Chain A
């Protein structure tokens, strides 16, 4: 074989798959790629803004770590993103393309706000919080369950179906706000602001600590469910190959519907946290794109809940940094977003360098002459 090929020119660059790398080496490669990413960001910063890149990086850092409150806000934002990432993971691991987390979380929020709005005075706060939780779980599960059922029974395209459900949820929120706020301002404001009924209590004086604790518990639960339970195994098998799953006697339809319901219910829980623990209000864009960012976090972390902790903190760190660049250096906020995009691109591509090695054509002519 080799002899036949000798007449052909070798390509300038070619790529081969690596075998399993030792963990340390894999980490090293990732670190180097990320370092190159940072340097590239610095270059882009100089070219775009002629600011000192060190100043920009410092601003990014203070955006998340500039004060204790900023650190809390970072962890709060990360907890929300992490929770939604966890919620979409079972579905994606099963290769069910749930692009509807945005709507499922929103409808969960709506369920909680509806409870706070109508029975806010009838129940004690703790009971209202629990009732809201169940309402949100049901709402989220139904919102995901409808496309899930159609997928399992008629094999409809779940990507489009779940995506469209986002718009239905947003319009439903607008409709209810229009109904609740007859002045037409389309702003609901804080619900139960005087009584704080249905609001999460502060713990040790921290508004967001309970949110973070709940998401930490969710992380552990999803980890155990996916890695240690029989159902988690079934999800993995259905995701790899439906035929294999059928062959070994898994009821694929049942697994799809069950998993999608769980995914939606978890989104509902996150909606509950956002409504009762964070915003205490709602508008049609209250989830703020987290439902889509979560898909990226989940894939970036290869569906591993522990990795997701770091990925979501990283993404939120970059987002807050981008905002800080805009406010502290007077740059347009798009500059921060460009840098965030570059960093994420490098982080995602670092996997490529772990899995593949790149070879350059060696200078063979000299060897021939000798």
Chain B
């Protein structure tokens, strides 16, 4: 009994001593930014964010002491704890990069109204209406459309060379989850390909994981075995590009250039560049104008948020570069719409009206009309930045 008592006393003393010690550290004067990442640099998804965060801080002249990176933060209470710790360490702005961080960021945003919280890929900022909580995405569907043009022209070349017949122009797509972000991505890629190769069709295989090298490799191999002559992906590993290189099948990747991973069969990759957004939120917060950060920010080609990596001109069809530049110019000018309802059908019919689930609610009710002026208004201003195109159009076989 005595032993237990002394033990409890010892623990209490330790606790109070550390509390006392702790309360007198960490200065709060300098401007600081905190970042929360789901994994570390070993994940291509997080590396893309980490690189952008570092580049933005450097470009704006922030010193190393002014940025705190927290990696390997799971999508649970740890995210809330990490956000609070960053605030306590003096951060005026906290950013998180994974969809599952959202609720925990909102929890922290409510607790610290004087700090700005920004979250990539989330969907709730425009309905929560907190002045210090913001979502962001990029109109990557436009980038995928352009990457699709590269793929379509490659298919045309293969048809012209007699390698395949026009009816065999089957694209394979390794997809993570049957989620709007992914569906919007593969549909735009397919529409881009079909805009130049009208007989193209597409087969989708889900891996049910955002990052799994082995599963993505197997999925690509299955697709190739099923007759796919070109592969693209929305999954975060190099599994599919490697499988393509081994089989000699042209490949379009995502977020990273696969020049070194698939040296013989790489074509191009579309990529989100988060640096413009990072710069925007850091500058606004530093100038005390955090409330000017929009609820939803969706950057495109114009802002430099959507990019295409280097084109493998030796392998791509002749004229691809010109077609890519023309498409990008058209997107910048606003004359090209990816989801033009004149270019696709759903269950054999043209899409005249569609209610999408834009505002998050527990029942996932469709709430907003998104067909406007003859096109599906993806990631629209005033709606939300994260994609909500979740239809399966004719020509795509996405049976699970």
Contacts and interface: CB of A to CB of B under 8 A. Distances in A.
B75 A66 contact: no
B22 A65 contact: yes
A171 to B, nearest CB: 10
A67 B22 contact: yes
B71 A67 contact: no
A183 B364 contact: yes
Contacts of A184: 177-180, 182, 390
Interface stretch (B84-92, B187-195, B225-233, B331-339): B84-92
Given A67-B85, A71-B18, A183 B180 contact: yes
A365 B2 CA distance: 55
B392 interface: no
B64 A330 contact: yes
A288 B74 contact: yes
Interface string A64-80: 01111111010110000
B75 A187 contact: yes
Given A182-B364, A281-B103, A283-B76, A323 B70 contact: yes
A67 B23 contact: yes
Interface residues of B, number: 43
Given A67-B89, A182-B364, A283 B100 contact: yes
Contact of B107 (A67, A190, A285, A328): A190
B78 to A, nearest CB: 8
B61 to A, nearest CB: 17
B179 A183 contact: yes
A337 to B, nearest CB: 10
A156 interface: no
Interface in A162-200: 174, 181-187, 189-190, 193
A186 B177 contact: yes
A68 B177 contact: no
Given A67-B85, A184-B180, A306 B70 contact: no
Nearest to A182: B364
B7 interface: yes
B19 interface: yes
A323 B74 CA distance: 12
Interface residues of A, number: 39
Contacts of B88: 67, 69-70
A189 B25 contact: no
Contacts of B26: 66-67
B245 interface: no
Contacts of A183: 179-180, 357, 364, 390
Nearest to B183: A184
A285 B70 contact: no
Contacts of B104: 190
B74 A285 contact: yes
A193 B103 contact: yes
B349 to A, nearest CB: 23
Contacts of A315: none
Interface in B62-78: 64, 68-72, 74-77
Interface string A322-335: 01001110101100
Interface in B44-71: 64, 68-71
Given A193-B103, A327-B70, A330-B69, A278 B22 contact: no
B22 A68 contact: yes
Interface string A267-310: 00000000000111101011010000000000000000010010
B394 interface: no
A62 interface: yes
B41 interface: yes
A328 B364 contact: no
9 contacts: A65-B18, A69-B88, A70-B22, A71-B19, A71-B22, A75-B15, A184-B180, A190-B104, A279-B76
Interface of B: 7, 11, 15, 18-19, 21-23, 25-26, 40-41, 64, 68-72, 74-77, 81, 84-85, 88-89, 99-100, 102-104, 107, 177-182, 208, 357, 364, 390
